[in-house]
Structure formats: C-alpha cells, structure tokens
Chain A
Amino acid sequence: MGMTHIVDRRLNGKNKSAVNRERFLRRYRHHIKKAVSDAVHRRSITDIERGENVSIPSRDIDEPIFHHGQGGKREMVHPGNQEFVAGDSIPKPQGGGGQGQGQGQASPDGEGMDEFAFQITQEEFLDFLFDDLELPNLARKKLKDTEAFKYVRSGFTTQGVPAKLDVVRSLRGAHARRLGLAGARRKKIREMEEQLADLKSAPDDLDAAFSHKDQIEALESEIARLKANVRRIPFIDEIDLRFRQHQKQPKPATSAVMFCLMDVSGSMTQMHKDIAKRFFILLYLFLQKNYKKIDVVFIRHHTSAKEVDEEEFFYSRETGGTIVSSALKLMHKIIESRYSPTEWNIYAAQASDGDNWNDDSPVCSKILADSILPLVQYYAYVEITPQDHQMLWYEYEKIMERFPQSFAMQQIADAGEIYPVFRQLFERKAA
C-alpha cells in the first residue's frame, strides 16, 4: 500500500477507438452508403461541410448470443413493492406475449430502439461519397484537404537536399571563406617573397658568417609551408553550401464561379439528374480546394434557358424539346454582366443526355469556341446516356480537338463513371 503511481495520460491521444470505429463503418458500408446517397439527394451541392446522421436497423448490427426466449415459467424478484401480498394474481396485459417484466426497455428520447443511430464526420461522409464515385485515394486526399498551399521562396538555409542547392550562393560563400582563411597567410607570403627577392638580388657575402644562404633557405621553406597551408584550404567546404529555402504559404484567395448547365427536358430522368448532381458536387469540391470564394450559377434549359436556384435546378420537371445553345447564350450573358474574367476564374460543367435539335449543335459549337472558351478556365461536358451519341457529341468532339486545354468531355452511363471525367480535369490542373 501507499504505492500509488499517478500518471497523466491526457496527452496520450484519444482516438484509441479510431480503428474500431473504422471497422464498424467498414462493416456497415452498404447502410452508410445508402444514407450518404440519400443525403446527397437531399443536400445542396455546396453543403458538404458537415457529416451525416446514419441509422441502421438494430437487428442488422446485433451480436447474437444464446439467451432465454419468452415462454415457460419464470420468476423474478423486484424492488419497491407497494400493496402486493403473496398469492396475489395480476391479470396479464392482453395481446402481447405477456412477458412485460422489465425486459423491453423504453427508449428515453422516443427514438426507436430498433434503430442504431450515429454520426459520421464530414471526412467520412466524403469518403463514402467518393467510394460511390470510385474515386481513387490520391484524388480523394486532394479533395479533402480543403486548405491549399503553395511553396514560396524564403531565403537560404545551410541544410537541404542537393536539388535545392544554390550554386552561386555557395560559391560566393566559399570564396569569402577562402579569402578569410588564407588572407593573412597570403600577405605573409607576399612579404616574405619580397624579402626573398631583396636577399637574392643583393650580392651574397662570401663570408659564411654573413652569408644570406641560410636566410634564403629558411624563407623559402617557410613560404613553401605557408603555400601548402593555403592549398589545403578546400575550394568548397560543407559550410559554404547554401540551399534555397521554401515555405508553405496558403494559396492566395481568389474567386471562382462555377456554372452548372443542365438539360431538363423530358428525356432527362431523375436518375440522370442525380448523376449530374454528383458530378457538380465533385466540381464544387475541386474548386473549393483552390478558391476561397465560389459562386455557383445554375442554368437549366429545354428550348429556352433560365437561371434558377438549386432546388429548381435539380428537382423541377419540364417537358419539351432541347435547344442547348440557349443555355450557352445565357451563360455568356451572365459572364458579361456579373463575372468579369479578369476577376473571376470561370468553370463550367454541362450535363445532358445528348439530346439536341440537330440544327442547334453547330450553333453551340460556334458559341463555345468564339465566346465562351476564351473566357473560362475549364469547361466540362458530361453526357449521361448509355446510348449512341447524337449530333451534339460529334460537334463537341471537334471543339475538344481545338481546345484540349480547356475543354473536356465524357460519356457517363452510371455514377461509377463520373470520376474518369474528373481525372482529366485534375491531371491538367494539378500539373
């Protein structure tokens, strides 16, 4: 006794359960994916800053063990008797199995006991979202790190990797060092050489006692020694090395505007729109990583285009034909009036099932090439259809050839194919 050892464990880090938590999420990924998928449907594309509540039916996560069932004869001792005496009989409640002895517990907050509810974090939410999109880890990470940095030069340092060696600086340092270390000796050498020259030029005294010979020899050997010393000073030494130093700095905040263009004609089903929505979310995440301020403009069109809010964009139904150029024209108009390309980075994503009036497709192509692509950073077109392409696709293919830097297009048949389009976008932009 008296041998108590008191330890402060608070700094040991919490998250000891992180692996177990991850194991749980992994085991129930299907349930969680569904919840995430429902949430995507429900949430705004800009609303990705928080996690999500997930409920799983309790029976699905039960850990079964052998236990007594209902029935048979059972006796239980309870506390708090008020008026019972031995032999009393109490009618069983009708209807149920007649168990009712403290087995079933009421839920304190009215939440169904048959649901196991928990929260996933924003990061986990995105993970499951990306999972659905088959987003590889590298891209995932890029998307989740919302803080973006760039490296800026910040002077020089004496340590670093060879790749960052600054040759001029290093040599300048070496030169100074050589001067510093050798200067005094060189001066001495110069003095002695002068002396030596004087001695040599003077006629030598024949008298051995007054001969300069010894003096000359002494001077010569001293000069040789000093010169050797100076030679031993390295041309460049480790301490001369200078490396360029870089510091992480948050990327300057700039603004971006993201145009979402979507065909809402009758042929676009809700499934098409949901796929488009995921694509737009990805684009938004990507932009969020790079820009502090992002505006999102929603343009929907059938035969005519209209700027709408998100709700109307994704969830109202229209019928009728399709004239894509109407949306492009409207986009151009909005850029001109509100988003000057000198102040805004402009991105656009267009989703469609590929349907367009054939006469209109060359018009689209012309508007894109002449008025839009010169103004935007990037324009992505996704065609959500498992079927054969129509006129619009072939027109856009020509655009892609002409503007490989700022135009990408891809066909998507289901959600899993959204990512390839994206990869193009990333590869180019990350370089």
Chain B
Amino acid sequence: MELAVWVIILPLLTAFSLGISKLYFKKIFFKLVIGSAILYLYLLILVITTSYPPKVYSIGQWGLLGINLMVDPLSALFLLIIALLFLPFIIFSMKYTKCIKHDYFIFSYLMVAGISGMVLTTDLFNLYVFMEVSSLSSCALSLYKKTDRGIEGTFKYLIMSTFGSFFILLATILTYYLTGTLNMAEISLAFEDTPFTIKSTIMAFFVFGYAIKIGLLPMHAWLPDAYEDSPIPYNVLSSGLVMKSAVYALIRGLYIMFGIDFLDESGLLTIVVFWGVITFITAHCLAFQQSNLNRLLAYSTIAQIAYIMIGLFVGTEAGLIAGSFHILNHAIMKGTLFFVVGIFNYSLAAVEIEDIKGLGYKFPILSFTFVVGSLAIVGLPPFNGFMSKWLIVEAALEAGFTYAAFFILVGTFLSLTYYLKVIVTLYTKNEKPLLIEEAGLSLKLPTIFLGSLCIVFGIVPSLPLHLITKIPTFLLDNGDYIRILIGG
C-alpha cells in the first residue's frame, strides 16, 4: 500500500528538504534534485506496472470516511506522463535556469506533488486541495523570470484560475450538501435519486470551473499570456501536465459521479463536442497570427486540448481510448516543441519566429526534432499525433459526430499553416551572423528523447495503447470503479 502514497509524499518531502538544504546544505542541493527525480521515476514505474487491476489504498484507519487513493489505468496514464516528462524537465532546467534555481526546483516538486495527488485521490475535496497546490506552484513557476510580461501574465492566470476554482469549490460544497459524503463512489450512489435540475447545475459548475483551467474557448485568454514570458521548461510541464490534470479531474468527476448515462441525457456530450470544435478552429486562426513562439505554441495547446476533449466526450469506449492516447501524445509532442524552442531561447535569446531564421542549418538535429514534433502535432503520419487523431476521428464518426470528425481534419490543415510557417523560417538562409551560446548535452538529451518518442509511438502505437485500452473499463461503467472503491 505504501507505494502509491509515496508517489505523493516523495515530491512533497523533496520540496521541503530542498528548502532546508537551500538554507543549510547548499552543496547537496542539486544532487538531491537529481537523485530524487530518479528515485521518483523508479517509484512511478513500480506503481504503473501494478495499476491493473485497480487498487485502493486507505490512508489511516478511517475506511471510507478518510482519504482513499486509487490507482486505475487512467491515473496510471498520468503517472506515465509524469514519468516521461519529469526527469527530462529536471535535467533541462538544471542548465536552462541561469540564475537562482533553488526556488524553481522546490516549486516544481510541489507542483508534481499536487498533480500526482490529483490523479490518485478519490476524494472530491482532496482533489480541490491538490489542484490548488499544483496551480499555485505553477503560478510561482510561471512568475519565475520576473519580467513585466511574466508578472502580468501570471497575475491574469492566477485571477482566472482562482475564478475557476471558486466554481469547483462551490460545486464540491453543493455535492457534499446533497449527498453528505466526499467519496466519489458514494456520491455516485447517492446521486441516483437527486433531481435532474440540481444535478445538472452542479455539473455545470464543475464543467465551467475546469473549463477555465483547460482553456476552452472564451476562457482561453489567460493561457498564452501565462506562457509568453515564463521559463520554457515550465511550459512543458504546464501544457503536458497541469492542464491535463484539469482534464483528468473533469472526466474522473463526470464519468464516476454522474455516469455516462446522465452526461448523455443532459446533453453535455453534444455541448462539449461542439464547444471543442469551436475552440480548436478559433485557436488555430489565432495561432496563425502569433509572432511569438511561446504564444503560438500556447494557442496550439488550446487547440490540441480541444481535440482531447472531443475524444473524451464522444462518450464511447473508442473515444475514451483516443482521447487518453492524445493526452499522452500531446504531452510528448508539445514537450519536444517547447524544449527545442527553449534551446533556441537559451542559445540566442530567440522569442520571435523571425529570431530563429536560418537555425535549421546551424542546429540540424534540433531542427529535425522540431520538424518531427510539429509534424506530429499537426497530425501527419507516421508520427504519434496521427495515430491518436485517427482514433479520435474514428471514434467521433462512430458516435455520430460527423461534423466534429470533419472539422478535426480541417483543423489539421489549419494547424499545418502556422507550424509550416515556423519550419520554413527555420530553413530560410540567414546572412546575419548569430551569437550562439552552445547548448550542452543536458539540454539536447531530453529534447531528443521526447522527439524520438514521437516517432516510436507513431510506429509502434501498441506500446502505450497496451495501458490505455484498459482505461474505459473503469470510466464508462462506473459500477466497477465504485465496487472496487467501496469494497476496498
């Protein structure tokens, strides 16, 4: 039982001991950072391999009253993303963050603790607390550069995110008021005879709160602002994990507590699919206008998460598999792209698209990685993005959302327009002499690792799908999940 608990405790503990070592033992600080990350990776792999069949861990002797952790395939997927991104993130940040790094690592460990808590817990309020932990530390990280734009963007991010949190908290309180419990399984049982209107109101609050954190259409504006002047390795974790954890919380909450039948009945599935279509079309239009690479990638993140939402909310088994696969793939692809942009930023302080002109000939391998990442995210074969998009379109067609499937292909075309703009700039000859600070191996290695994953998961998609295909079992039929949770 201890293993799953340690997934949360280890980063928390590391964060605190990093704080202490910053004050008293500065010498071992970085050894601690790296050592803990490696240990964490090992721990995550152990937990992921034991994720099927799902297991419940009760903390303390409280049974259902206390906090229960549960590792099911969906949580395991998120743990897998943490496992894939966190160590590269740490290695990359070691070199990338030039000045004071101590706070940076403390906050990143806190953030990961929050996210791993979110994906493991089965308690609604606990979920809220962990979400606040991760979003606050995420704000602290995004603030890290302390530039005008960075602070402004983070302020807007924090206000919007808190605004969303209020509605999540409100919905949580109302749920507790109605059911008298915070355990998701018990809520689900107690919800069965709640009036339709009240249930759907609560659901609307949940959806709205998380939609702000996910960045669906009218609530997306904070995201590019927050990304514009934040440390770029943070953006990797943010788009790969922080936003995805909101997606996780949303689908976990909706599918387990309300159940797929209610989602269908209340029309939420149709609404979210339509919402997703509007979101990604708009985001693609906006992304084309951007001259700042970070903003461009941020808008692309909005669009990609809209694809994920469509996949997850068509309400079929295939859709859930497709959406979950795209969650993983997007984390990898966006990680690759942000890492490459991060290296360009590190080497010659490039932020605009114009700044990277001609770098294709200076950094052949990195540019190739960028090309791979962007083609993958556009959704061209034979990369991983294509596989998950294929699955999403197939699922949408199967579930009868023909328009969504069609617009996903249109969106693919639109996303190519701006990624190709960057690629073409990358391979345009530049006469200007460039001042280049050589990027070390510690920057290149994580980038190339993620880039090669894009190709590997594209050619051998059965590798992650092995895990992912088990996800719908415990979401579509929430009975299984509830039985396991209550029984354990």
A pairs with B: no
